[in-house]
Chains A and B, each alone.
Chain A
């Protein structure tokens, strides 16, 4: 479900981007927000998310800011990452969203 046009830059300074659709029942609510931010904090890369490809961008490591996005079910989440472990971070974010945050 994510865009294949993700930038394939070898250099760490160039941001990577991809998007995924929220499939879990109530959108990016409390539990998913906590899961997503906890996962994001495991990476050194700067990770941001948005409801549109051109932002506004939100720090994916802050549960307070992620909750402010109030992303509903069916929304497309755009990610933008930059940093040494950016590729792994982006893959982990997309996997979480595809997986519906592990909720039935």
Chain B
């Protein structure tokens, strides 16, 4: 059997070798039997299976989460939920379509409720809908990825990626996909090598059993010859040794050859990212995404829940500055019961600060929790998707009001410095117009809005380039505005971790970069060699 040598685009660096898991198209679709009796039986089995799955999950949980799941079980066990779907099936509709439209109608009912609480229950219905759909399409089996394996397929969803264990190695090899996709970002954060755009993955007979992935060069070799494998393993050993050396330098401050000190901060998507990390590897936390709180709570997280999480991160940082971003929902990050469905272009729609200002009752809770957490460390708060000064001013006034209210209630609090994300070109061009306490450049969105090229569309991935002179000019302009106003400027997008861009970014005058923990050692090593 000859080895299959494919070249694609590098999406996440690193080398990996392992057994192959093929993601089948079953994840996406299902073949309907065309027989109403069979479709009815399939839906019934899927609903019962989904309920049993949740019951098993409840056994491992307690408290509020268990209550929510018990509610889901009660709904699934109630025949009234699927009534409409069974009617549609007997009229000739396939089980999955019938179920989806019945549940979508139910979900619409919840989303249109006057009461906040009932609106938030839409998330439960979405969860129920997708769990049953997954069982109907047999995605359950396909979604199970053994740790350490090379996942091959057309594309992979973020949830499938997140369901797998990447701590034991493994890599991703895709026929389609984009280096700028959400999954590619996750892969870089978890240190999983990834190559995309390999073209059709076709093989005669059984799929390959072993693969090599080179996430630097964008090369994948299926069923390698013994000699190819031997050479690859030698490179892998050398890379591991080099990583060990870089890791040793992780605790050293970052410094360019000409003696400029560069602050290296961490991007954190969830508090678990910080587990087992020594805060001494960084100069602080440059970005805490708070979307995870809203995704996990099956609704809107209350003030105390948010406060506890923020406080834990501040405690971990031991006095180093921590920048928390207020909810950045919308765009490619929908949250059931909060974001707007069916916008023709969600990236240009009600997202980030626009959504927070449109939903003050949700935003206020977050501002209160942040003000209470601010007494426990050097907290800074930043607002995403700011385009015009009035958005900043309105948010700033709301923060003041919440601090005053907390003080009146005798609750310990402090007003954290309020800054803005610079990711809309309008804000980059007029950064000096904002009374922000700091600027944090979100290079992913700034790049896609400047270049008019989506980051998850492979066909225009070449245009989605932060190294483009137009994007670098907007970054330099923001740095200059910060220098004039005497406020700090940092950059917290994916570009910060792309060591091919380090020289260009530091040339704009930036002195603070924020990256995921896995990239700290690599970035510090690149800074030490910059321009040389």
Contacts and interface: CB of A to CB of B under 8 A. Distances in A.
A34 interface: yes
A64 B81 contact: yes
Contacts of A38: 74
Interface in B69-127: 70-71, 74-75, 78-81, 106, 109, 113-115, 117-118, 121, 124
B251 interface: no
A interface: dominant SS? helix
A30 B81 contact: no
A29 B109 CA distance: 14
Interface stretch (A8-16, A67-75, A88-96): A67-75
Is the interface on chain A under 10, 10 to 19, 20 to 34, or 35 or more residues?
Answer: 10 to 19
A9 to B, nearest CB: 29
Is the interface on chain B under 10, 10 to 19, 20 to 34, or 35 or more residues?
Answer: 10 to 19
A67 B109 CA distance: 10
B115 A30 contact: no
A31 B67 contact: yes
B186 interface: no
Nearest to B73: A34
A84 interface: no
Interface string A44-77: 0000000000000001001111011010100000
A70 B74 contact: no
B67 A62 contact: no
Given A30-B121, A30-B124, A62-B80, A68 B75 contact: no
B142 interface: no
B113 A63 contact: no
Given A64-B75, A64-B80, A34 B70 contact: yes
A26 B75 contact: no
A34 B70 CA distance: 8
A59 B443 CA distance: 54
B113 A30 contact: no
B84 to A, nearest CB: 11
Interface of A: 26-27, 29-31, 33-34, 37-38, 59, 62-65, 67-68, 70, 72
Interface of B: 67-68, 70-71, 74-75, 78-81, 106, 109, 113-115, 117-118, 121, 124
